[in-house]
Amino acid sequence: MIKLYWEDYEVGSSRISFGRTITESDIVLHAGQTGDFYPHHMDAEWCKTQAFGQRVAHGTLILSVGVGMLAGEINEVAFSYGYDKVRFISPVFIGDTITSQSEIVGKREHPKKADQFGFVDESVVVSNQRGEAVLAFTHVYLVEKKK
């Protein structure tokens, strides 16, 4: 575990994940976990008659995997506060390999507890194997300040 306090985050710092290939098993497991069995994800024959011509991974699956790929060491003084501006830009198909890249784009004081906490905004872009953005969002962290 690490302790990276609000004061330690630097705007402009970035990181990139390794790639991860999305499989049919990923889609099936996610459908079972969420109850989202829409044919866009599950029915290969029906999808052949649609615009994309094949099954599409759930957006929430790609969001979950994209976040998880950037998870490294546990920072015991930072907590995920949520996700802003989530946009599913392009579909992800079975066999696509995605990569997450992030950059710290902002820091701000907590409006009620500025002496204890601050927020850190991390811009995240998930891209496919062709370098095309498939998902973009801002991951907001609530981070303790040094005492």
Mean pLDDT of the chain: 96
Q: Residue 1 has what pLDDT?
A: 85
- Decide if pLDDT at 74 tops 90: no
Q: Residue 46 has what pLDDT?
A: 97
121 strand-pairing partners: 106, 140
Domains for the chain: give ranges and CATH numbers: 6-144 (3.10.129.10)
- Give which of 103, 97, 108 is closest to 134, Cα–Cα: 97
Q: Residue 22 has what pLDDT?
A: 98
- pTM here is 0.94
